[in-house]
């Protein structure tokens, strides 16, 4: 992985872990706790792809397993987030397309349900029946609600940071799956990105009005 694909996830995961433990974990909400670590993993996986997504998910889960107050076997959540990071990375749009906010929200919703179910299944395999006593249905529904409500504030920001530090041009995917813009050149917003287009020979040329796009 590139150095930016190591430093940025490390900073985001540490920040998410601090907020998860010191803020979200103390809210004492009914049912599950909002899973900020999961949202960060999903956002990064949707930009970096399955391999990086699985590695980031494993690291995030291992941090969560080791962070106090940890009351489960180490590696349990690492396995869950590793699988979800890989699965979310498979949904990364082709090329430099940007996934729409609605489709990203659907990915989060599926991941929230899957993470709760997988965590309970792994717990059952190692003899942890805590989810059975709390109520698995209530945990799934509350995790889905909390993560979907938190996702619009976290996932787009994480994806934007990942693209910015990765240096990849952005092609926005509209809700109907079509590219937004006025053609191929309108997808590139900076002089450096335009210079990389076929036929420009590596020379930096500014296209009138291009840099003024919002």
Peptide bond preceding 170 in cis form (omega within 30 of 0): no
Residue 205 confidence (pLDDT): 46
| Residue 40 φ/ψ region, left for φ over 0, alpha for ψ in the -120 to 50 degree band, beta for the rest | alpha
Q: What is the pLDDT of residue 136?
A: 80
pLDDT digits (tens, 9 = 90+) for 22-60: 998 888 888 888 999 999 999 999 999 999 999 999 999
List alpha helices for the chain, DSSP H.
4-22, 36-48, 50-66, 76-90, 101-125, 130-134, 136-166, 191-195
Task: Give the chain's count of helices (H) and strands (E).
Answer: 8, 2
Q: What torsion, rounded to 10 degrees, do the Cα atoms 26, 30, 31, 34 define? A: -50
CA distance 105 to 39: 10
Residues in the chain, pLDDT under 50: 172-197, 200-214
Distance, CA of 2 to CA of 8 (rounded, Å): 10
Q: pTM for the whole thing?
A: 0.74
State the CB neighbour count (10 A cutoff) for residue 111. Answer: 27
In order of their start, the domains of the chain are 4-171 (1.10.1760.20), 181-214 (no CATH)
Q: What is the DSSP string of 138-163?
A: HHHHHHHHHHHHHHHHHHHHHHHHHH
The pLDDT of residue 182 = 29
Give the pLDDT of residue 141.
92
Q: What is the pLDDT of residue 187?
A: 41
Contact 159, 104 (CB under 8 A): yes
At residue 157, the pLDDT reads 93
For residue 75, the model assigns a pLDDT of 85
Residue 181 CA: distances (Å) to CA of 107, 190, 199: 25, 14, 20
pLDDT at 71: 67
């Amino acid at each position: 992985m590139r150095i930016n694909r190591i430093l940025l996830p490390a900073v985001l995961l540490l920040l998410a872990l601090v907020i998860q433990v010191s803020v979200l974990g103390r809210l004492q909400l009914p049912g599950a706790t909002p899973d900020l670590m999961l949202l960060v993993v999903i956002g990064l996986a949707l930009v970096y792809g399955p391999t990086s997504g699985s590695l980031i998910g494993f690291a995030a889960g291992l941090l969560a397993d080791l962070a106090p107050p940890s009351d489960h076997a180490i590696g349990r959540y690492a396995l869950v987030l590793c699988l979800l990071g890989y699965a979310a990375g498979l949904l990364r749009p082709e090329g430099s397309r940007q996934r729409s906010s609605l489709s990203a929200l659907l990915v989060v919703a599926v991941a929230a349900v899957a993470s709760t179910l997988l965590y309970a299944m792994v717990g059952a395999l190692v003899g942890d029946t805590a989810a059975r006593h709390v109520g698995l249905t209530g945990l799934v529904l509350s995790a889905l609600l909390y993560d979907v409500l938190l996702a619009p504030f976290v996932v787009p920001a994480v994806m934007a940071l990942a693209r910015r530090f990765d240096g990849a041009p952005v092609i926005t995917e509209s809700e109907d799956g079509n590219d937004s813009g006025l053609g191929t050149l309108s997808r590139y917003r900076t002089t450096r990105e335009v210079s990389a287009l076929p036929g420009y020979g590596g020379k930096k040329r500014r296209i009138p009005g291009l840099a003024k796009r919002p």
